[in-house]
Amino acid sequence: MDKPIRVLVAKPGLDGHDRGAKMIARALRDAGMEVIYTGLRQTPEQIVAAAIQEDVDIIGMSILSGAHNHLFPKVIGLLKDQDADDIMVIAGGVIPEDDIPALKAAGVAAIFTPGALTTEIVQFIRDNVKR
Amino acid sequence: MFDKEKFEQLKVARKNWEDKDLNKSLARSPERKEAFKTGSGDIVERLYTPEDINDLDYMEEIGLPGQYPYTRGYQPTMYRGRLWTMRMYAGFSTAEESNKRYKFLVDQGSTGLSVAFDLPTQIGYDSDHPLAEGEVGKVGVAIDSLADMEILFDGINLEKVSTSMTINSPASVLLAMYIAVADKQGVSPEKLRGTIQNDILKEYIARGTYIYPTEESMRLITDIFEYCSKNVPQWNTISISGYHIREAGSTAAQEVGFTLADGIAYVEAAIKAGLDVDSFAPRLSFFFNAHNDLLEEVSKYRAARRLWAKIMKERFKAKNPQSMMLKFHTQTGGSTLTAQQPDNNIVRVAIQTLAAVLGGTQSLHTNSKDEALALPTEDSVRIALRTQQIVAHESGVTNTVDPLAGSYYIEAKTKEIEDKAMEYITKIDELGGAPRAIDAGYIQKEITDAAYKYQMDVEKGDVVVVGMNKFKVAEKAPQGLLKVDPMVGEMQKKKLVELKAKRDNQAVTEKLTALKKACKGTENLMPYIVEAVREYATLGEICDVMREVFGEYEQSVML
């Protein structure tokens, strides 16, 4: 049997809304993945360090505060700097439609906005994580 | 509660009804579902009759408005006397921008201000702090010093308006700035009316803008209680909040149970600090959510009022009736709004407004239809405010006090929520009180379990969210959302540089040194903070002094 997919669920920035992050973390765990949840207020540096140390396949970040345009690309930049850009990055939260093209161009593989189902996210990860 | 003979007749009649009418009806057309549940997932019976509330003693449990246990409202005339305060939570970008929005709201008939601060302000960082990058002015207004606060309230008479500030860990600093601005307007502290949220326990539980460890945070809170009871007597010193607990996914009964458990912890801390219960308890206020299940929500507010009255009287031996009255602000439920078909949110907010009003709220914020997508535009805020005005002036529900009282369902549900909430409080008492139950992760886990159950019910389609998992349409991306100027961070940084060049830095250092010394002792910190803000010490500088002495809270990460 394949090794389970390892996921880091992270809350970057100062935003304290973690209901979504916790729901995703639980749903991924129930779908058989190994999930590490960082807790609140993680800097991009902390997230990248945790991802490398935990040897995850994918990072899922959640922001509802509007700081996504700053923080998501920063995490991706740091992954590149550390030759860890084989780790896929997906994101969710209150992300305006207008911001999505630039975030995808920056390297966010998928963005899930309010109303997304956990089953969609599970499926996306299964289909896209390179093993 | 009912005449014995008539009650026996009812029991017989009910049995007959079930055997004949009901069974015939069910055989002909079965019900739509096996079980009917509230928004919180509790079973709702088909029918409620006097049988369901026969054990309730009217005078003891329900009573009259303005009388213990205040189930029907804390005030004898309720909205016949005065409508609730229509208080729209607002704030974004710079103090200048937010000041404009406040003037717009007052112009549109808003009767109280409610300030939203950005995250760096809420966590005690100035706008030039590395962790503030990308966050300045985003979810609220950026306040770095008294200079920003002066602009925020420019042209707004603080003697006339009541102001609510959603600020917790740095509550003492923002309150000090408010006092200082009022002073410059020539308004003395005893005339100030308003509320600071100041509820750290729910930050640890659900909202996340904590700074200091529990004990030091509780000290700051009791310092505020004491200072305000002497100097700012009309100020509500805390808004004990179930709102965010519910947003994090709790049930209605958990919202009441966990919120009142937090309230108990604050009362205990203040009594332990030597305060007399009746000296501070009248200024405690509460803050609840309004979700879509109208009747469950109405029952929730009534249950909270009754339970708090009993706790204050029986557990804390309060003597002043004001100490027993649970007064509350309500905000409609942000998490109930959908990003899909956002116009539908107007209807949700209208139902939630009715819930809050039928439940006897003292003030209300109504969310705007676009809040699942971004901060609201002026147009959508206007609709949200108009929703309150329509309920106030057109719906007729304000004409009589507590109009749903006496409904068999409402009274039974009120009792059920009260009992369930009390079970949570008992469990938390067993764990050593709310702060310890939070440290152990108990409260957080209960909420997350409830949230996950709800999420799964939505995904299975057992819970219908209109426009989201049923009645869907293909939609274009919404247009015209509010955008915060991305340059606001730079503008704030520039203002800070100018401020630090202009102020008396010697005086700032002296005041901060004095504050630091006081932090290490046991004196009330409020006077030191007031002195420091008057010299334009920044929010970050003041919070850093306290960080240095108090340390920082470490979250127990709980899935």
Q: Tell whether B379 lies on the interface with A, counting CB pairs under 8 A.
A: no
Greater model confidence, B88 or B498: B498
Sort B13 into a burial class: Cβ within 10 Å, 0-12 / 13-18 / 19+: exposed
pLDDT at A1 over 60: no
What does B155-181 look like in DSSP terms, one character per residue? T--TTT-EEEEE--TTHHHHHHHHHHH
Stated pTM of the model: 0.96
Q: Tell whether B372 lies on the interface with A, counting CB pairs under 8 A.
A: yes
- Contacts with A124 (C-beta within 8 Å, 6 or more apart), sequence order: A90, A110
Task: For B21-34, write each residue's pLDDT tens digit.
Answer: 999 999 999 999 99
pLDDT on residue B23: 97
pLDDT at B43 over 60: yes
Bridge pairing between strands A6-10 and B85-90: unpaired
What is the average per-residue pLDDT within B271-280? 96
Give ipTM to 2 decimals.
0.95
pLDDT on residue B400: 98
- Of residues B249, B375, B557, nearest to A37 (C-beta): B557
Which residues of chain B have a CB within 8 Å of the CB of A22? 448, 451-452, 559
B83 secondary structure, DSSP code: P
Which residues of chain A have a CB within 8 Å of the CB of B455? 23, 27, 118
What is the average per-residue pLDDT within B162-180? 97
Task: For A80-117, write each residue's pLDDT tens digit.
Answer: 999 999 999 999 999 999 999 999 999 999 999 999 99
Neighbour order of strands in the sheet with B284-290: B235-236, B193-196, B162-166, B112-116, B85-90, B363-365, B328-332, B284-290, B238-241
Do B559 and A118 count as a contact with CB atoms less than 8 A apart? no
Which residues of chain B have a CB within 8 Å of the CB of A98? 477, 481
Neighbour order of strands in the sheet with A34-37: A34-37, A6-10, A58-63, A88-93, A110-112
Q: Tell whether B203 lies on the interface with A, counting CB pairs under 8 A.
A: yes
Do B559 and A25 count as a contact with CB atoms less than 8 A apart? yes
Q: Tell whether B425 lies on the interface with A, counting CB pairs under 8 A.
A: no
What does B309-321 look like in DSSP terms, one character per residue? HHIIIIIS---SH
In angstroms, the CA B552 to CA B394 distance is: 50
Q: Tell whether B455 lies on the interface with A, counting CB pairs under 8 A.
A: yes
pLDDT at B452 over 60: yes
Average pLDDT in chain A: 95
Instruction: Give the residue numbers in A contacting B (CB under 8 Å), as ranges.
Output: 13-19, 22-23, 25-27, 29, 35, 37-41, 43, 65-67, 69-71, 94, 96-98, 113-115, 117-119
Tell me the percentage of chain A whose pLDDT exceeds 70: 98
| Domains of chain A, first to last | 6-128 (3.40.50.280)
Task: For B342-359, write each residue's pLDDT tens digit.
Answer: 999 999 999 999 999 999
Average pLDDT in chain B: 96
In angstroms, the CA B556 to CA A39 distance is: 8
Do B208 and A41 count as a contact with CB atoms less than 8 A apart? yes
Do B455 and A15 count as a contact with CB atoms less than 8 A apart? no
SS3 B86: strand
Q: Tell whether B133 lies on the interface with A, counting CB pairs under 8 A.
A: yes
What is the average per-residue pLDDT within B417-444? 97
Task: For B368-402, write each residue's pLDDT tens digit.
Answer: 999 998 889 999 999 999 999 999 999 999 999 99
pLDDT on residue A71: 96
